[in-house]
Amino acid sequence: MKSLADTLAILVAAAKPLTSTESIPLLAAAGRYLAEDLHATINVPPADNSAMDGYAVRAEDIASGDTWLPITQTINAGSAPEPLAAGSAARIFTGAEIPSGADTVVMQENSERSTDGRQVKLAATQVGDNIRRCGQDIHQGQLIFATGHRLAAVDVAVIAAIGLPTITVFRRVRVAILATGNELVEPGQPLATGQIYNSNRYLLHTALTALGCEVIDLGTAEDTLAGTEAALRRGQEADLIITTGGVSVGEADFVKPAVTNLGTLESWKVAIKPGKPLAFGRIGETPLLGLPGNPVAVFITFLLAVKTFIRALNHNREPLPTRPFAAEFSTSKSSDRTNYLRVKITTEGQISRFGNQSSGVLSSVAWADGLAIIPAGATVQSGEPLQVILLNDYAFL
């Protein structure tokens, strides 16, 4: 068995980064990967503006406190102010541009308006109070996002804030998915004896779509060598083929011999639990990742291996982030493989584990907040910190 680190190094080295790009509207950008470094062409905000409803003044004019000043203008957000004369105040609203000559904003709560509305009594304040400075969020020329960055919803909002209506992204990665196993039945169909519903297809299709991929669904291959080979040939137009099941050594496991017949098998078996029978090879020139059949093993190998490969295709080689949490449990037996336990973060900020860690218990993944990493050969003592992959949008999707 190869270590996970060695396996991922093989995958990253084998991933040929995409070169084809397209320009898309910003509203269609979520989930896509940037094909260029993105620099700000403007400051955000573009000018000093008010953080409060109140009055723009010179701090020295109200230094004595409870000072009455004439109101010489009203500044609404989106309007251009006039310069502020010394010894006067400007009525100003949140987001409005600070007039030249003013150096502070007194919030409305610390003011008193005269009965005729022409003057205002203001409390003393410090220079710069309640002013958002030009460029305090983003400054002109700043690198916003680098090539290969996958855009989340908030990233799209940041790009909108610098005024770009379109961006250049890499084309979608094309991924062909193939399930194997005569026992698999589509949801909505009746189950015969020995059959199960094909949850892996829905996990892969949904996760790949969320990653911004174009999914080519090859269906379910019959449990024969000829049937498996025929299905794999149909996937060669993709950038990556993913199979589930059929990568072990049973008499009905045909993915491994099919890959050997049609191309090359470069890696097989990884020292992780669950997910040991993870294969990497090629069908002709098309890379293939053969995932196990048990649904939890599919989930974990997708997270660790498939996502790493797809990110590498999109010029992104950042590792999955982990965070330390103290274990609420102990283990007495070690394993020769790195174990990924389904865990939930407790109200005390520790982690508890799901009772049944079988690779067939898919509900454990829906229950979990993360995967706690137990290194090969290690046991766990209660209170010991463990690194955890959090199953949020950033980590999984």
pLDDT digits (tens, 9 = 90+) for 226-237: 999 999 999 999
Element (H, E) at 257: helix 255-262
DSSP state, residue 55: E
Per CATH, the number for 22-44+137-170 is 3.90.105.10
Please report where in the chains the tokens 């609420």 appear, as a residue.
328
Give which of 254, 210, 259, 252 is closest to 235, Cα–Cα.
259
Tokens read off for 262: 């049609």
CATH H-level superfamily of 4-18+172-313: MoaB/Mog-like domain (3.40.980.10)
H/E element, 266: strand 263-268
Burial (Cβ within 10 Å: 0-12, 13-18, ≥19) of residue 1:
middle
Instruction: Write the pLDDT tens digit of every residue in 55-108.
Output: 999 999 999 999 999 999 999 999 999 999 999 999 999 999 999 999 999 999
Backbone angles phi and psi of 378, in degrees to 5: -105, 150
pLDDT at 251 over 90: no
Q: Of the candidates 239, 246, 180, which has an alpha carbon nearest to the alpha carbon of residue 215?
A: 239
How do strand 279-283 and strand 214-221 relate by DSSP bridges?
unpaired
pLDDT tier for residue 397 given thresholds of 50, 70 and 90: very low
What own/partner pairs with CB < 8 Å and gap ≥ 24 does 226-229 have?
227/254, 228/180, 228/254, 228/255, 228/258, 229/258, 229/261, 229/262
> What tokens were used for 322?
């982990």
Q: What pTM was computed for the model?
A: 0.85
Nearest to 291 by CA among 281, 283, 314: 281
Q: pLDDT tens for residues 177-186?
A: 999 988 999 9
Give me 71's structure tokens.
């109101």
The pLDDT tens digits of the residues spanning 102-161 come to 999 999 999 999 999 999 999 999 999 999 999 999 999 999 999 999 999 999 999 999
Alpha-carbon Rg of the chain, whole angstroms? 29
Full DSSP string of 138-203: B-TT-EEE-TTPBPPHHHHHHHHHTT-SEEEEEPPPEEEEEEE-TTEE-TTSPPPTT-EE-HHHHH
Average pLDDT along the chain: 94
- Domain layout of the chain by residue ranges: 4-18+172-313, 22-44+137-170, 49-132, 323-396
Per-residue burial over 298-324, b if 16 or more Cβ lie within 10 Å, else e, is bbbbbbbbbbbbbbbbbbbeeebebee
Asked whether 246 and 254 are in contact (CB, 8 A), the reply is yes
Domain covering 49-132 assigned CATH 2.170.190.11 in the classification: yes
Other C-beta atoms lying within 10 Å of the C-beta of residue 119: 16
**Does residue 247 carry a pLDDT above 80?**
no
pLDDT per residue over 161-171, tens digit each?
999 999 999 99
Residue type, 394: Y
Whether 308 shows a pLDDT value over 90: the answer reads yes
Quickly name the fold that domain 323-396 has.
Answer: Beta-clip (2.40.340)
